[in-house]
Each structure stands twice: as C-alpha cells, then as structure tokens.
Structure 1
C-alpha cells in the first residue's frame, strides 16, 4: 500500500483553501478600505467638491485634490493632498503655440470690439437693406428724370463719425456708349447718346463726345471737329434738379458739390455724372482675373450694370479740363456687400487706423492716403491671398496683410486700381519727398509690429491689453450678445426714418393744390390725399397720424382733427412707447415686454414715436409759415410730437371750443418750461411754438419771453431770423394796441 508524502499533502490542502482565504481577505479589505460602491461615492464627492470650489474661484485659481484621498482611500494616518495653480498662467512646450493662441484671442477680442464700433453683421445688413429700399422708391418716382445713388462708406454700411454721405446723380436721358455700334441698343430719339474715347487719356480716364447734337452743346469744347463735353464746364453749369435733403452748399470738392443736410449735422458730397450700361473695355482684364473672388454670378451682375463717369480729369493728362474719370462705385458697393463680416471689419479697422494713427496730427496737405486706398487694399488682399482665412480668430493677420500691401505700394509708388491696374492712384500725389516721408512713417509702424500699431487706437488698446493681461481667458465671438432686441429696433427705426420721410413728402404734396382747383378736381384731390395720409397713419409710426390731423385742420375739419390728436396722445403716452433720441432703461424693458418678438411693422405702428418733419415747400398751417419761409440754411423743421399735439389742440379749440384754449396752452407751457422733452434738436422750435401760441391768445409778455428763450437755445434749426421777425411783429402789435 502506497502512502503520499506529508509535504505533498500539506501543499494540496493549502491550494484547496486559497480561494476561500482570498475571499475572506477581500471581505476584510472591503471592511477596512471600503466597498466598490463606497469608493466610487468618495471619488464622486471629491470631484463634486472640486467642481464647486473651482466654479467659485474660476477667475483666480484652479484646485485639485490628489493622492490617496482623491483615489478613494480613507486610512488612518492618510493626509489630504491639494494642488492649486493660477488660471492665467500656463506652461507650454513650444513658444510658437502660445503666440498663435494669444493672437487668436487678440483677434477675437478686436473682432468683438469692432462689432460695437462698426456694427454686427445683422446691423450692417439692415442698414444696407433700408438704404436700398429708400433708393428704389426714390428712383421709381424719378424714373423718367434723374436717378440717384448713395455711394461710399455710408452705402457700404458704415455709420462712423468720419463717414460722410456720397451721392451720385445722373440724367436718365443721357447714356454713354463705347463705340457707335452700341447705339443699336437704344432708341436715339428718346436718349442723348454720348461716345467715350479713351485713346488719348491716362488709364481710368476718358473723353466724352457727342455723335448727335443735343442740349449738352453748351458745355462742350470743339476739338478735331468733335464736340467734347468739358468736365470743368459741366461742373460750373450744374443746377441739380433733385437735391434730396441738401440744405447748405459750401463749394466744390473734386468732382462733387460739398453740402450738408439735417441742420448741418450730415456732410454730403454730391456728384453729377453720366451713366453707361456697358463695361469699360479697359477693365476687361478684371473679368478674367476673377477666378476665385468674386464669384462668376457676381462678376456677371457687375458687368451687366456698367459704370459711371464723374466730372474730373487727370491732373497730368493733356486734356484735363475735358477729361472724365471712370467710376466703379456701383461695382465697389456690390463687392463690399459680398464680403464676409471679418473682411468688412478688416476694412473698417483700416479706415479707423488711417484716421487715428496714420493721419493723426498730420496737416491736410500731408494726408496722402485716403479710405479708398484702404478699400482697394482689402479688395486685392481678398483676391490674391487665397489661403488667407478671413475669420474672427485671424482678423489681426488679415489686417496686417493689408497693411503690408499698402506699405509695399507706398515704397514702390504704385497703387493699382482694382478694376484697371494700369491706373496708378499714387501718380499725382505720392512721389518724391512726400512718398519718402509717408513710407518712413508707415515703416516705423511696421517695425513696431501689428499689436503695437493697434495700441495707438484707444478703444482697441483696451481690448488688446485685457487679453495680454489675461491670456488664458476665452473670448465669446457671438455677435448677438452685443445688442438687444430693443437696441436693434431703435437702430432700425432710425434708418427707416428716411423712407418714412420720403413717403410723407410725396403724400402731402397734393394738399398744396386744394386752394387752386375747381370743385370737382378739389374733391378728387382731397379724397386721394386723405386716403394716402390714412395709409401713412395706419402703417407708419404713431406720430405719423399727426400729418392727417394737420390736413384735417387745414381743410377746416376741426372735430376730426381733435379726434386724431386725442388718439395719438393716448398712444404716445403708453409707457412702452420709445421716442427716438430719448429712450430710458425702464422704457426699453417695458418695450420688450409689450412688443418683444413681434414683427417690425407691428412694433413701428404700436410702439414708436418719432419727431415730425415739416418740409419748407409745403404749407401745413399758416400759423408757422414765417418759420417755414426762412429756408436759407435748412429745408425742414423738426418738431417733437407732443409739442405739435398741444399746438394743434390749441388751434382747433380756437375754432370749436374757446374755453379749452387756455388748458391746451397751459399743457404746452408746462411741457416746454419743465423740459419734459429735452433735446438740443427741439429746444429752439419748442420755445418758438410756445411763443406763437401765447401771441395768438394775447399773452404778449409771455410770448416775448418765449421768443427770447428760443434765441438763447442752440440754433440747431436756424430760427433766429424768423424769431426776430416774430419779435418785431409783437412790438408793432403792442404799440398799435396802446394807441
């Protein structure tokens, strides 16, 4: 009988017991260290604690629990390890990575800053759409006479303080062709055809001659048996048939008439030119160059719309006094419209940089670069740099590419026109010593680097420094966070004010015919005028109803006028109604509560009160005829709606209920005296109207005081002459009564 060895038997017993021993030890360790569920809970609690602490101190430092405690152990003698590091400090392995990240943050910060200065993409689009609609309405009325186009920065969507309004006018009876073969596309007896001849002119300029005699002969110069239209004579003979809102003309500015509008607040340049429906042969290379930007459809549309000719010759040309410059304003506007918002803001940044850095502290004679050069640089940069990413994270690099291109042009003394590269736009101004001085100024900025250049601009400097001091901060590039609904609506209403004014001006003109026509015609015109003004009151803003009230007053329908006035007063008194130029914080909140989210037509009809424009070529009521006749420096009066309401009330009550006249006068006096509608635009006319009303009620002393107050106000509406006339009339009236 065989027996196993004792050692073998012992080993076998241990092997059999080992799993049970392991299970026993596992249970024991679970009791000491914790079960899986308990360890997971400890870790989750530690993670949650970290999150709470870091959320509370996210601007200063980040905390992390480490070691045994974070891992889930809770043994006696185990300490707790905490790690802290500041938010704004990072260790990197490659310096270039930090520079790239920092430049991205700087670009994003500058992008958002420019959105507040120049406008968000939504704001810019709104401005363009409103202006396009305004232009369309204007040209529809004048389709057989004069066409008008807003060009330049204002048309492109800028509303900077440095932006003036450029206007172009051309007769629809004249058309320029490039050869006589193109005359077959026109009915010669309806149009005056003009032929362009650029064979003897520098690139970008041309001569215009008449193949058939017409009314332009008087501004022509005979040369080589042809009648060439003289640009210098044409400018001298200009008598604009449509001036828009122009009020003050201050002389010539290149090919333009320099003027101002809206009480001298807006500077305007009006260019009277000729139009062509054909693309210039000298710019044909541009069509073939556009392989990536702009796209083929836009190129075709630009070519289809042709070009214009403005009255200025090349100063180095042999025919300067009869030369005309080829203008691509319409094409440039379409190209700017085709830019994405980063490209547009780069263009805006260059304009601001030109004004506040390059031309800062420089005399007018030394300001050799202009905004048009900046725009040309952006056009070339977009077209030639196909790998350049035009996005918020890359805005500074895009700006720097354009700046270096301008620096290169100044160094070479050549700035090629985007459409006709042979046209060097530096040829007449930037050369010799002036070229060297300008290059040294730009090169100094270039040596300092992109970021240092922008530190010269105050608003951008604040954003740049904020990123440099907090390099770890993330930048939100969502434009919608910059402007609220009520702010956007306010800006929209300001823009569409032009269209509303245009509609009112057209609809009120038939009123002037009521006094001169026979009864049947008078009835027809009255019905048409009344219906048109009712439409304006229905679809316009609240205060537009006052035009209908004025019409009723003028046509002796005083009860109807008072009904409209009372309804308008109630609507304007609602707490959510916003008045342009005067919007408070609580008013904005209540506006959002009342009409937030509704379409713009409802907002405009129910919650917008605007100042009332009284054009000087329309007699609304004879009581303010003296103020309207004095039109040497303006073409309209701007009256606050509540001022006009109380005046109309007083005028109507004088006809139907004299007992209420004094109440209306007291309401007007309180409104003016206690400045319930404070604004420098309205103070002089408000005191003037109060004085007129006091004079009508026989309170001559109070009227004299009001006229004096009107003279003391800022002369925004140029009422000084009419006020003096009012005072003289008052004095004669008092003297006559004393006799």
Structure 2
C-alpha cells in the first residue's frame, strides 16, 4: 500500500514537472518574465520623469504588466491627470500646492466597502472633469458615470464602455483603458491588509505598495445609493507588485488558473461563462499564498498548488463570497455570482472537481503535457528553465520589449518635442549611472539611439541645405555624426535613417550607397525582422555573440517617424494629417521604407533603376503583406506606393493605391492626406 502511494506521489510530481515545463513554454520562463517586467518598468520610469505636470500619466496594467504575453489577451492601461490628486482626509492637503494641483477628497461615508464619492475641493480643474460635476448636499462631486462617458468616447470614438474602461479593438488587438484618479495615500479601509502581511509579501514590498497609494476608477457599486456618482478603489499598482513578488512556480500557477478559466471553465456553458474572470483567479492565488495554504511552491508540486487554489475558488462560489484581497468586506461576487447563476456555476465547477486533476485534460494548452507523462511514466523531465528558453526567443523578446518608439513623442508641437528630447537626455544621463540590470540597460540604449536619430533631423531642419553656409555645415556634420553613432548601437534597420538624411540633404549617391549596404544585411537568411526569423540560421550565424553585435548584424525593426519632425518631405501631408487626428508617429515597414527611399534617390539619377525600385515596392505591397507588412501598417504602405506611382506619372495605379489605403485600418490617421492626394490625382486625370 505504501509503495502504491509512493508511486502515485511520484507520478503526481512528474506530472507537475511536465506541466511546469509546458507553462514555461506558454507563459514564459522566469528569465523571460523578468525581461518583460524590467523593460516595462524602466520605460515607464523614463516616461514619468519627462511628463510635465499638466499631462496625462499612462500606466500599463493587467496581465501584460504582470509579465504575461498570452495569446488573445488584451492590453490594459490606466490614465490619469498628473496635476489631480485624491486625498483621504483634509489634513493631507498640506502636502500639495493648490496653485498647480487640483485636490479631490475621498468620501466613503455613504458608500459600500471598496467604493467612494470624490468631492472636488479646488475650483481649478480640466474640462472633462468640469463636465462631470454634480451637486449633492451643497457639495460638488465628480460623477463616475458622466466622467466615464466623456473620457472613453472622447479619446476612442469607436470604443464601447466596459465596466470602468473604454474597450475596443484595433485589428486583432483588444484594449481596455481606464481613465482614473490617483491617490498618494493608502486608504484607511485597506489598513487591515497591512496587518495581515506577516509572511507574504515581505516588509519591503508592503512598504513600497503603501507608499505608492492607490487609484480610483469610474464605476460605482450597483447596489449603492450613489451608483452613478461612486468610484471604485483600484489596487492595480499594488497587484502587479504583488505578482512581481511571487516565485516563478506561484506565477505559473496563476497562469495555469487563467488558462483553466479560459479553456475549461468558460467552455462549460454560455449561461455561466461570464461569471468568473481573471481577477477572481488572481485574488484566489493571493489569498492562498498569504494564508500559507501550500508551504512549498516548486515545480514538483505545481499541480498541488493549482488544486488548492481551485478548491478555494469552489468554496467561494458555494458561499457566494469572494473577498477582495485588500478590502475583504468588498465581496467581488455580490452582483454576479448569486442566485440561480451561482448554483449553476457551482454544479459545473463541482463536476470538474470530481474528476480531479483529470479536468485539466480539457485544456487544449495543457493536455499534451499531462498525456506525455501518463503514456510514458519514465519520461525524463528537465525543469531547468534554461533549456526551455531559446536564444532566438530571448533576443526577439528583449529587442521588441525594449523598443521605445511610441514613448518618445507625445506632443504635436515641435518646440515641445525639442524640450522633451532635452528632458530625455537628462533622464538617460541620470539613469545610466545607476546599477541597472541587463534588461534595464537595453531600453536606455534603444532610447539613446532614438534620441540621436531625431536630434539629427531636428538639427538639420534648422537650415536649408545649400552646401555653403558655415552654420549649416557644422549642423550637417553634427547630424551625420549622431546618425552614424546611432548605427553603432542600433539595429540593421537604423542604417535607413542615414539614407533618409542623405536623401533629404540632396546626397543621392551617398544615400544609395547606404541603401545597398542595408539591402545586403536585410537579405541575410538569418535576419530577425519583427516576428520573422529562421531560428536555426540565426543561432548558427550570431549565436554566442553579444546582443549589441547581434542587433547590428541580424535584427531589424519597423521605421518610426515622429510627426513633428520632418524626415522625408514627401510625407509631410501624411504627418500633418496624422497630427490632426492625434497621432504622433508613423510606423513604416522597413522594406517599404527601403524601396521608397531607393525610388526617391534614383529619380534624380537613373529613371530605369527608379522604375525597378517602384516595381519592387509594388510587389511587396500587393503580395507580401502578411509576412513583411502587418495589418496595422497597411494604410501607410499603400499610401507610400501611391505617392511613388503618382510621382512616376502612373496616375491610375496611384489612384488605386490611395483607395486601397482608405480601406485599411486607419492606424496612422492619414485619411485627410489620402483624400487630398486622390483629389490631386483625379484633377490631373481630368486635365
């Protein structure tokens, strides 16, 4: 009997190890998760340091902030006005200068646990807050329902209101953006959480969480007497720090619960598939860890951890009570998991419970890792994560996560952009002297490259290129130096910025020389371009070399043009149109830009070669969109093809390309320019 029990125990361990390895492949190894978190943190740190007091702060939240990159998961963000602060009591007002800070008082006296009213204390505020003000009992409050409608629909006209968020979809990417208010103080109603933190998280994490306060999102309690005015406490910032403090086995258990919810629980019936959400899974893991319901979290008992969490979830559903981790009196099940719906959900979960761990066989993602052990009990399982993560995957994730592209410019005014560049330089200087990790250093390196590239064009744009002006000569020398320096620390694709600069300053042959060198590198069979890479060839060619060498020799990314900076005059209408539509950058596929600049240069040298470059561009845009041109970049790609065709005199083809641009997702906000170009082509055809 003891031998039989031992066999079952060892079988369970092996199954846990197999699922651990599988989850490392699906969710990520501890190294990959650390990479995602640290690069996100350093980018956000830079962004906050250069954001003026009157601007909006943007924080990545949800599963992506926690370190997940699960297929189909959406992007969650929280936004708040940097010059608005919520206080918990009037005594805290002394910490703020009301001349430049709008103060708001949290009043929870008439609200259910976890909710509050927000009273505006100072007259100075922004327009979207003014439009949401309501008067109650001779006091002025901010209505959550009005604020939610104003902010969500103003920023994203095509979005829908989902809970406190503006929810929508850009091609295949779903997003949830919550417009909220920030508070620098920890709420008294969550003070019991501090007292509970005996073993987890450690005191340093607790202090950090409490020191950074909380947020308030625009949604009231459905059973509250002020539902339309109330705001919900949000502990998103605290939650991602708690997830950071998990060991990797705990994190993977959380990931397994998310997968189990999506692939098993939600598939039971349409009646119950909206009752539970990922937040309930996270809450379950938090409570299990803090209550020390599993003493040892390691690969060998990962499934034990999952089962402990599942049993707690089942108990909560049975009772109809899911206590919020920070304010337990706030029952997360109160309005959804009750009555007949609660009973149906419990019965479904209980059926899964009766199957034991075999219920995981219903998960398409996890099934194979369990079956492998069941059919081959002696299968050797290596839980060393280094064998799970390939160098190719590591390099790809590190480069893509380190990209600062869209962070660089959040302004549509050149003078403010220049000021932002100066602030970025100062911030980089301050950060590089700190003891940074490898994952934090690379984003700063990528940011420095971006700064050099944009400074080069800003400097050049101050002067008209004539070849004789002394100031222009010095500026040109500085610009060339910055662009060449950027390529030493940059990617293969960064060479195109030099070609663009040479074209802009009328040095067509020099630009073509750079383009030829770039072509050779982009044609290498081991090139890593976005998600396109031959792993074996990449490893064979550059494996074992430093990441800087790999980036210079074998990695390419899309070209980013900041709309307030003129890099190619032929795209000025598109940049101006984009600015009018609130877009700060154009993202152009690298091969589209290569053929575009090649066409522009050859127009001044050799019309035959110019047509050849146009033909290559046309083949690329017409036939290779899935591989080298992603859905979100089709509008600008068709636009550039149309520009080249119009310049070459092929007006019918240009008209077709512009029309195709209008049918794509308007990612770049260039429609005004496209319509203008169509009118121009039609006018030429009629003449």
TM over 0.5: yes
Q: Secondary structure of 2:177's match? A: strand
In structure 2, the partner of 1:231 is 144
Cα–Cα, structure 1 residues 702 and 326, in superposed 2: closer, same or farther, change >3 Å? closer
The one of 347, 358, 362 aligned to 1:456: 362
Moved more, 503-512 or 134-143: 503-512
Tell me, in whole angstroms, the C-alpha distance in 2 between the residues paired with 1:400 and 1:391.
Answer: 14
State yes or no: 1:184 paired with 2:184: no
Listed one character per residue, the Cα deviations across residues 267-303 of structure 1 (whole Å, up to 9, x for unaligned) are: 2111111111111111111111111111111111111
User: Where in structure 2 are the equivalents of 1:73-88 lying within 5 Å?
Assistant: none
User: Where in structure 2 are the equivalents of 1:260-299 lying within 5 Å?
Assistant: 260-261=169-170, 264-299=171-206
Asked if the contact 2:294/2:308 (under 8 Å) is kept, the reply is: no
The one of 430, 437, 445 aligned to 2:352: 445
Alpha-carbon offset, residue 482 of structure 1: 1.9
State yes or no: 1:579 paired with 2:508: no
Moved more, 472-481 or 503-512: 503-512
Moved more, 635-644 or 344-353: 635-644
Tell me, in whole angstroms, the C-alpha distance in 2 between the residues paired with 1:557 and 1:293.
Answer: 63
Cα–Cα, structure 1 residues 498 and 229, in superposed 2: closer, same or farther, change >3 Å? same
In structure 1, the partner of 2:645 is 694
User: Where in structure 2 are the equivalents of 1:321-400 lying within 5 Å?
Assistant: 321-360=228-267, 362-363=269-270, 366-400=273-307
Listed one character per residue, the Cα deviations across residues 11-39 of structure 1 (whole Å, up to 9, x for unaligned) are: xxxxxxxxxxxxxxxxxxxxxxxxxxxxx
Asked if the contact 1:627/1:722 (under 8 Å) is kept, the reply is: yes
In structure 2, the partner of 1:205 is 115
Cα–Cα, structure 1 residues 248 and 268, in superposed 2: closer, same or farther, change >3 Å? farther
Tell me, in whole angstroms, the C-alpha distance in 1 between the residues paired with 2:499 and 2:232.
Answer: 50
Alpha-carbon offset, residue 463 of structure 1: 1.8
Asked if the contact 2:152/2:161 (under 8 Å) is kept, the reply is: no
In structure 2, the partner of 1:639 is 588
Tell me, in whole angstroms, the C-alpha distance in 2 between the residues paired with 1:272 and 1:526.
Answer: 44
Alpha-carbon offset, residue 348 of structure 1: 0.6
Tell me, in whole angstroms, the C-alpha distance in 2 between the residues paired with 1:470 and 1:413.
Answer: 41
Listed one character per residue, the Cα deviations across residues 434-473 of structure 1 (whole Å, up to 9, x for unaligned) are: 11111111111111112x2101012322221221122232
Tell me, in whole angstroms, the C-alpha distance in 2 between the residues paired with 1:280 and 1:557.
Answer: 62
Listed one character per residue, the Cα deviations across residues 147-206 of structure 1 (whole Å, up to 9, x for unaligned) are: 221011010011112321111111221111111112222233332222212121111111
Alpha-carbon offset, residue 370 of structure 1: 0.4
In structure 2, the partner of 1:66 is none
Moved more, 644-653 or 373-382: 644-653
Tell me, in whole angstroms, the C-alpha distance in 2 between the residues paired with 1:674 and 1:182.
Answer: 62
Tell me, in whole angstroms, the C-alpha distance in 2 between the residues paired with 1:454 and 1:396.
Answer: 10
Moved more, 528-537 or 140-149: 528-537
Tell me, in whole angstroms, the C-alpha distance in 2 between the residues paired with 1:406 and 1:309.
Answer: 27
Tell me, in whole angstroms, the C-alpha distance in 2 between the residues paired with 1:106 and 1:709.
Answer: 52
Alpha-carbon offset, residue 595 of structure 1: 3.2
State yes or no: 1:304 paired with 2:217: no
In structure 2, the partner of 1:72 is none
In structure 2, the partner of 1:733 is 684
Tell me, in whole angstroms, the C-alpha distance in 2 between the residues paired with 1:501 and 1:531.
Answer: 24
Alpha-carbon offset, residue 669 of structure 1: 5.2
Q: Secondary structure of 2:58's match? A: strand
Q: Secondary structure of 2:403's match? A: helix
Alpha-carbon offset, residue 679 of structure 1: 3.9
Tell me, in whole angstroms, the C-alpha distance in 1 between the residues paired with 2:667 and 2:233.
Answer: 38
Listed one character per residue, the Cα deviations across residues 631-669 of structure 1 (whole Å, up to 9, x for unaligned) are: 679876543323322221221233455565345445545
In structure 2, the partner of 1:253 is 162
Asked if the contact 2:635/2:665 (under 8 Å) is kept, the reply is: yes
User: Where in structure 2 are the equivalents of 1:131-146 lying within 5 Å?
Assistant: 131-144=40-53, 145-146=55-56
In structure 1, the partner of 2:496 is 546
State yes or no: 1:170 paired with 2:80: yes
Alpha-carbon offset, residue 612 of structure 1: 2.0
Q: Secondary structure of 1:661's match? A: helix
State yes or no: 1:124 paired with 2:33: yes
TM-score, scaled relative to structure 1: 0.77
Task: Give the length in aligned residue pairs.
Answer: 635
Asked if the contact 1:220/1:227 (under 8 Å) is kept, the reply is: yes
Cα–Cα, structure 1 residues 212 and 643, in superposed 2: closer, same or farther, change >3 Å? closer
Moved more, 482-491 or 377-386: 482-491
In structure 2, the partner of 1:42 is none
Tell me, in whole angstroms, the C-alpha distance in 2 between the residues paired with 1:717 and 1:654.
Answer: 27
In structure 2, the partner of 1:100 is 9
Structure with more relative contact order (C-alpha pairs < 8 Å, separation 6 or more): 2
Structure 2: gaps (5+ residues): 409-446
State yes or no: 1:653 paired with 2:566: no
State yes or no: 1:613 paired with 2:563: no
Structure 1: gaps (5+ residues): 1-91
In structure 1, the partner of 2:23 is 114
Cα–Cα, structure 1 residues 184 and 690, in superposed 2: closer, same or farther, change >3 Å? closer
Asked if the contact 1:710/1:723 (under 8 Å) is kept, the reply is: yes
Tell me, in whole angstroms, the C-alpha distance in 2 between the residues paired with 1:522 and 1:312.
Answer: 56
Cα–Cα, structure 1 residues 438 and 281, in superposed 2: closer, same or farther, change >3 Å? same
In structure 2, the partner of 1:474 is 380
Cα–Cα, structure 1 residues 711 and 610, in superposed 2: closer, same or farther, change >3 Å? same
Moved more, 495-504 or 176-185: 495-504
Tell me, in whole angstroms, the C-alpha distance in 1 between the residues paired with 2:640 and 2:616.
Answer: 13
Tell me, in whole angstroms, the C-alpha distance in 1 between the residues paired with 2:137 and 2:623.
Answer: 73
Cα–Cα, structure 1 residues 520 and 413, in superposed 2: closer, same or farther, change >3 Å? farther
The one of 561, 570, 578 aligned to 1:623: 570
User: Where in structure 2 are the equivalents of 1:495-644 lying within 5 Å?
Assistant: 495-499=401-405, 502=408, 503=447, 508=454, 536-558=486-508, 561-584=511-534, 588-614=535-561, 620-624=567-571, 637-644=586-593
Tell me, in whole angstroms, the C-alpha distance in 2 between the residues paired with 1:233 and 1:676.
Answer: 42
Greater CA radius of gyration, 1 or 2? 1
Moved more, 686-695 or 198-207: 686-695
Moved more, 618-627 or 395-404: 618-627
Tell me, in whole angstroms, the C-alpha distance in 1 between the residues paired with 2:629 and 2:485.
Answer: 31
Tell me, in whole angstroms, the C-alpha distance in 2 between the residues paired with 1:174 and 1:724.
Answer: 40
Alpha-carbon offset, residue 250 of structure 1: 1.2
Cα–Cα, structure 1 residues 385 and 720, in superposed 2: closer, same or farther, change >3 Å? same
Asked if the contact 1:508/1:529 (under 8 Å) is kept, the reply is: no
Asked if the contact 2:405/2:560 (under 8 Å) is kept, the reply is: no
Asked if the contact 2:272/2:345 (under 8 Å) is kept, the reply is: no
